[in-house]
């Protein structure tokens, strides 16, 4: 034990170090690591003190997590008064740096104070100094607490929010100026009253049960609790509360922070009414497709390009119907009709884009199956609508539905004064054309080939091929199909039975084999009689040998005017047309789908090689137009793959499959050569 350090210890002043060190010889020397707690106020009684021999310890009077109040270094002591007086320490003592500490237990301290009276005198002086210092600290702390309380009261009273303290019995024990401004009552009118006096609504109407139900560990009751209240002047207001349970020693009480949200609520309700009104003209679902959440964010020219399915619906003979009724009756009828059928659109994921008089145009951004389901649902809803009209002696309403899938432009058109949401694209035009064709075929629901391909489960529907048409403005003919799930069980069975014969007859008619078509239509009509207008129409067409909606040179092959001026490309084109002609005999003379699949594979390889040759030429000459040209090649590959996939399913007749291939092979190539390959040839010449 270092006598020089012992001699510097304040409580040992005047005592000779040698005998003192001998008296303390049995006291242990302990090693302490940084952060180690040596003494703390939670100790009932430490029963020992420390003399710092090496290192440094920190003394925290304001709490262990607060900065140290002072440090003890070699020669300083800690814990001597609490050891002498047998009381808990009044501070937390932690090791600051690695330290050596002489530990003096309580019995040893008593013995050396008896042995060396000077130590007793020094300790009495330390106690006196400690009491003076502690008293001064207590007085200063009390002044600080009083000042802090005043400042806290000023903050509480000046806040715009109301603050209430509720005791466990439900009585208000504190009530700030903000609460006075909100409720209109003075503090002396509220303090001592039940909280129900201010907030006469749950949960405060049953406060006892509510407070007892709180779990012991439940500290925050949350925010956003909305309660109605009545001000002193009788005006009803709406308040939003933040409620927290506070525990102090053995006491529990509830603090309520109150905010008057009456004006905000009225403003939000007015805004919501405005949004609801606007959504009747521009649905929220339409805004979502534009990537907008609010109509005020939409600007003229905003738009997106995406693939969607379009459903077009119209009432038959509506003009004649409206001519015999007053405008008021017409509007009432249209609204009743739309109320009956429009829910079928929204319930299947569709968005009504617009009402065009008695017509409906709806968009389906997810699946083509949704649009078909919506149309079938609308047909059933119309049946119920007609049953109600029949009971009132009113005539039946008939409608048509056209469904097509394709790429379209969805956006806002107009100017700053007037805007409208709309969709633009060939997909919309074809859907409207299909709806118009339902009158001819007396089939309520017609869909395009693109819509059928886009369906995830076309096999779940009853679908049959009815026509191939060349819509105005389109370079490629469009295949048209009837969906007949809505028909009676008897008629569905008839159409199921005759579908293979009818589809082959229609394909042969379009391929120019009219007599063969008539030979097949006879059995179809014998089976269905007057129940199948499509079969009757094609019998008349075949008899008249009309090739409706097909080019006059449908069976033509390669022609000199198709030349591009590029020898290799022209040779490949001629070979492709010759291969397409060779496929005709195979498809019309064979029913083996495996043979057809292999033959179309050869055609696919030839087309692929032709496309690669064209793309290589463009790359070698500056890539002019390459991206758009290649995109059309990719579209052809995709369409040809779809034809081959139909061959694999073995569902469709070979004549129908050849018609699909012929339209793709001849019409696509003829159009592609004229609009893309010949301009390419002129650039590269």
Task: Report pLDDT digits (tens) over 226-245.
Answer: 888 888 888 888 888 777 77
Give the domain CATH number at 599. Answer: 1.20.120.50
What's the DSSP call for residue 668?
I
Q: Are residues 369 and 496 in the same domain?
A: no
293: in domain: yes
Please indicate, yes or no, whether residues 482 and 538 belong to a single structural domain of this protein: no
Give the pLDDT confidence score for residue 280 in this predicted structure. 55
Does 71 score more than 60 pLDDT? yes
150 domain-assigned: no
Note whether 492 and 480 are same-domain residues.
no
Three-state secondary structure readout of 102-144: EEEEHHHHHHHHHHCHHHHHHHHHHHHHHHHHHHHHHHHHHHH
**Lowest pLDDT segment from 186-195, 323-332, 378-387:** 323-332
pTM score: 0.58
- Say yes or no to pLDDT of 327 above 50: yes
Burial 339-378 (b: 16+ CB within 10 A, else e): ebbbebbeebbbbbbbeeebbbbbbbbebbbbbbbbbbbb
Write out pLDDT tens, residues 456-485: 888 899 999 999 887 766 667 889 999 999
What is the pLDDT averaged over residues 69-98?
85
Question: Please, which residues have CB within 8 angstroms of residue 53's CB and are 6 or more apart in sequence?
Answer: 1, 2, 5, 29, 74, 99, 100, 101, 102
pLDDT at 451: 92
8 Å CB contact between 636 and 672: yes
The residue with greater pLDDT, 420 or 494, is: 494
CA 610/CA 62 separation, integer angstroms: 88
- Does any domain span residue 154? no
**146 lies in some domain:** no
Is residue 525 located within the same domain as residue 565?
A: no
State whether 302 and 368 are in the same domain. yes
| Residue 320 belongs to a domain | yes
Please report the pLDDT score of residue 286 as a whole number.
61
As to burial, measured by CB atoms within 10 angstroms (0-12 exposed, 13-18 middle, 19+ buried), residue 216 is exposed
Task: Indicate left, alpha or beta for 301 from its phi (over 0: left) and psi (-120 to 50: alpha).
Answer: left
- What number is the average pLDDT over the span 340-367? 85
Q: Which of 509, 532, 550 is the last residue of a domain?
A: 550
Neighbours of 29 (CB within 10 A): 12
Report helix, strand or coil for 311.
strand
Q: How large is the average pLDDT for residues 515-533?
A: 83
Please state, in angstroms and rounded to a whole number, the distance separating the CA atoms of residues 530 and 91: 106
Tens of pLDDT, residue by residue over 268-280, are 777 667 566 555 5
Is the pLDDT at 554 greater than 50, yes or no? no
H/E stretch holding 264: helix 262-279
The last residue of one of the domains, among 137, 170, 193, is: 137
Same domain, 105 and 38: yes
Is 152 part of any domain? no
Question: How does pLDDT run across 562-579, given as a tens digit for each residue?
Answer: 899 999 999 999 998 888
Tokens 């020094």 map to which residue?
Answer: 122
pLDDT at 528: 73
For residue 145, being part of any structural domain is answered with: no
Give the lowest-confidence range in 151-160, 425-434, 439-448: 151-160
**Residue 678 within a domain:** yes
Over pLDDT 70: what percentage of the chain?
81
Distances (CA, A) of 537 to 328, 479, 534, 568, 658: 39, 17, 5, 45, 22
Residue reference for tokens 């937390």: 92
- Domain with residue 303: its CATH number is 3.30.70.1230
**What confidence score (pLDDT) does residue 401 get?**
95
Q: How confident is the model at residue 74 (pLDDT cuts 50, 70, 90)?
A: confident
Structural domain count, the chain: 5
* 615 and 632 part of one domain: yes
Is the pLDDT confidence value at 131 over 80?
A: no
Question: Residue 465 gets which letter from DSSP?
Answer: E
**Domain termination residue (choose one: 216, 236, 264):** 264
No. of helices (H) and no. of strands (E), the chain: 24, 19
254 & 166 share domain = yes
- Residue 536 and residue 476 in one domain: no
pLDDT tens digits for range 161-206: 888 888 878 888 888 888 888 888 998 898 888 888 888 877 777 7
Pairing of strands 419-424, 399-414: antiparallel
Same domain, residue pair 16 and 101: yes
Query: For 145-219, where are the E strands, in sequence order?
Result: 162-167, 172-175
Strand order, beta sheet including 172-175 = 172-175, 162-167, 251-260, 236-248, 220-230
Q: What are phi and psi of 653, to 5 degrees?
A: -70, 145
Mean pLDDT of 609-624: 88
Q: Is 399 exposed, middle or buried (0-12, 13-18, 19+ CB in 10 A)?
A: buried
Mean pLDDT of the chain: 81
Considering the domain architecture, whether residues 500 and 480 belong to the same structural domain is answered as: no
- Mean pLDDT value of segment 69-78: 87
198: domain CATH number is: 3.30.450.20
Domain extent, residue 540, equals 487-550
Indicate if 528 and 672 belong to the same structural domain: no
Supply the pLDDT for residue 429. Answer: 87
CA–CA distance from 258 to each of 166, 263, 355, 638 (Å)?
Answer: 13, 14, 48, 65
Contacts of 478 (CB under 8 A, 6+ apart): 430, 448, 449, 468, 469, 470, 471
């Amino acid at each position: 034990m270092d006598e020089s350090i012992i001699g510097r210890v304040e409580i040992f002043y005047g005592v000779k170090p040698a005998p003192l060190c001998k008296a303390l010889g049995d006291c242990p020397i302990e090693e302490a690591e940084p952060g180690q707690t040596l003494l703390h106020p939670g100790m009932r009684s430490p029963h020992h003190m420390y003399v710092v021999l090496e290192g440094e310890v920190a003394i925290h009077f304001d709490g262990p997590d607060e900065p140290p109040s002072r440090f003890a270094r070699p020669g300083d002591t800690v814990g001597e008064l609490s050891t002498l007086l047998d009381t808990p320490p009044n501070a937390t003592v932690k090791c600051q740096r690695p330290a050596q500490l002489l530990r003096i237990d309580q019995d040893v301290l008593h013995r050396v104070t008896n042995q060396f009276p000077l130590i007793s005198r020094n300790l009495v002086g330390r106690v006196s100094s400690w009491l003076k210092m502690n008293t001064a600290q207590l007085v200063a702390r009390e002044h600080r607490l009083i000042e802090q309380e005043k400042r806290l009261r000023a903050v509480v009273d000046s806040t715009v929010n109301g603050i209430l303290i509720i005791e466990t019995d439900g009585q208000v024990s504190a009530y700030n100026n903000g609460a006075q401004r909100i409720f209109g009552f003075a503090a002396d009118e509220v303090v001592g009253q039940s909280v129900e006096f201010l907030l006469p609504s749950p949960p405060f109407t049953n406060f006892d049960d509510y407070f007892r139900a709180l779990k012991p560990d439940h500290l925050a009751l949350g925010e956003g609790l909305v309660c109605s209240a009545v001000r002193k002047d009788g005006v009803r207001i709406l308040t939003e509360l933040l409620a927290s349970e506070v525990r102090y020693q053995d006491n529990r009480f509830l603090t309520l922070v109150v905010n008057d949200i009456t004006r905000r609520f009225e403003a939000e309700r007015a805004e919501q009414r405005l949004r609801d009104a606007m959504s009747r003209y521009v649905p929220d679902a339409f805004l979502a497709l534009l990537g907008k959440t609010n109509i005020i964010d939409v600007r003229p020219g905003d738009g997106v390009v995406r693939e969607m399915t379009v459903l077009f619906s119209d009432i038959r003979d509506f003009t004649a119907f409206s001519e015999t009724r007053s405008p008021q009756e017409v509007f009432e009828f249209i609204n009743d009709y739309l109320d009956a059928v429009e829910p079928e659109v929204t319930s299947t994921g569709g968005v009504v884009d617009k009402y065009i008089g008695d017509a409906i145009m709806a968009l389906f951004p997810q699946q083509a199956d949704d649009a078909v389901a919506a149309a079938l649902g609308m047909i059933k809803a119309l049946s119920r609508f007609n049953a109600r009209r029949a009971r009132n002696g009113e005539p039946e309403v008939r409608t048509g539905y056209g469904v097509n899938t394709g790429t379209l432009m969805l956006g806002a058109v107009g100017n700053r004064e007037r805007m409208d949401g709309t969709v633009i694209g060939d997909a919309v035009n074809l859907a409207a054309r299909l709806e118009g064709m339902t009158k001819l075929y007396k089939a309520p629901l017609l869909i395009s080939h693109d819509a059928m391909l886009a369906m995830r489960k076309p096999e779940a529907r009853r679908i049959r091929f009815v026509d191939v048409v060349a819509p105005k403005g389109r370079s490629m003919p469009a295949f048209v199909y009837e969906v007949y799930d809505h028909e009676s069980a008897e008629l569905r069975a008839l159409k199921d039975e005759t579908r293979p014969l009818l589809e082959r007859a229609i394909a042969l008619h379009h391929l120019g084999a009219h007599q063969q078509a008539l030979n097949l239509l006879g059995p179809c009509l014998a089976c269905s009689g007057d129940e199948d207008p499509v079969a009757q129409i094609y019998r008349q067409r075949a008899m008249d040998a009309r090739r409706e909606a097909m080019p006059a040179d449908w069976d033509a092959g390669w022609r000199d005017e198709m030349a591009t001026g590029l020898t290799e490309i022209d040779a490949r084109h001629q070979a492709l047309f010759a291969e397409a002609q060779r496929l005709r005999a195979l498809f019309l003379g064979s029913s083996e789908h495996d043979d057809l699949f292999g033959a179309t594979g050869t055609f696919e390889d030839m087309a692929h090689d032709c496309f690669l040759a064209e793309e290589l030429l463009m790359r070698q000459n500056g890539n002019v137009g390459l991206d758009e040209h290649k995109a059309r090649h990719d579209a052809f590959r995709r369409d040809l793959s779809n034809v081959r996939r139909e061959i694999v399913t073995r569902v469709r007749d070979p004549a129908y499959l050849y018609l699909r291939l012929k339209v793709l092979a001849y019409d696509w190539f003829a159009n592609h050569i004229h609009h893309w390959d010949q301009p390419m040839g002129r650039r590269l010449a």
